[in-house]
Structure 1
């Protein structure tokens, strides 16, 4: 996004502060209008002629840039491994670790190692984790029990 004096086009298609179309005008005239209103002139695309620009407050321009950056970042899937017979303190540690990861915007893949007849216990442990993480994450996949492990993926809210 290019704003204010860095816009080099001779003419721009301006949209007002409240979203109303102000039409095509000279860039110098649009910059003068932006200064009068105490806002920035923000160019949204350079690929059209004349380029579309918006009158937007500085705070909203920064916020829009941060939103754009955040949307462009791919979400990572972090894996947390545990066993069906995990101790309470270790369970709390894994749960807190998952909450930190979800708060950071990444997804969590829980994998519970199954040995012997612990398949049902592993599924119960994953359901308990999902209940505890209800405020910070939402289940993306169902609980999948296969072979020697049970797994579920949780995405941030």
Structure 2
């Protein structure tokens, strides 16, 4: 048996940003903090200009020829980048798949409750998996389950679009609905507007 790897107590090595003295290129294309081009100058002179203005020289594009640097307050720049990343994470919504289970012999009130649940999930931006469960010999009535799922898709037509039509999987019949991106305009409303 091979020996277990030893636990490394050292702090993880962080990649430091290329700013000020860490920039090793002799010639740099320098951009002012206002966005004005200062031209191609050597590294030492660029560092002097940045020090005079009490700002940092930050390497923006390493791949350009010569590399592009910008004179800016690096702490403020880093803070702004972190703030933007945080906002982007906050705005992004992870879509989940929520499930609505029922039997094909469902009562009207129970069906309305399932419709309400599905509407709530769709409004939250989640996908809905509609499942009809078969028990015992009920599997013979898969056509009734398909009719029920299609009725559900029709009732939720304004909020959702069918992502996957009803299909049997083992002892269940499933259908996937996803939230509608654009609102559906009913045909009756179109007819009223035309008259």
Shorter-chain TM-score tier: 0.5 to 0.7
Return closer, same or farther for 1:41/1:69 CA change in 2, 3 Å cut-off.
Answer: farther
2:70 to 36, 54, 59: 54
The answer on whether the counterparts of 2:100 and 2:117 sit within 8 Å (CA) in structure 1 is: no
The answer on whether the counterparts of 1:44 and 1:53 sit within 8 Å (CA) in structure 2 is: yes
TM-score scaled by length of structure 1: 0.57
Greater Rg, structure 1 or structure 2? 2
Unmatched runs of 5 consecutive residues or more in structure 1: 100-107, 131-141
| Distance in 1 of aligned mates of 2:34 and 2:42 | 20
Return closer, same or farther for 1:123/1:79 CA change in 2, 3 Å cut-off.
Answer: farther
| Distance in 2 of aligned mates of 1:112 and 1:42 | 50
The answer on whether the counterparts of 1:123 and 1:145 sit within 8 Å (CA) in structure 2 is: no
TM-score scaled by length of structure 2: 0.48
The answer on whether the counterparts of 1:82 and 1:112 sit within 8 Å (CA) in structure 2 is: yes
Higher RCO, Cα 8 Å, sep 6+: 1
Unmatched runs of 5 consecutive residues or more in structure 2: 1-16, 102-110, 133-144, 167-173, 182-195
Structure that is richer in strand per residue: 1
Runs of 4 or more, structure 1, over 4 Å off, are 65-71, 75-78, 84-88, 122-128
Q: Classify the secondary structure of the residue corresponding to 2:61.
A: coil
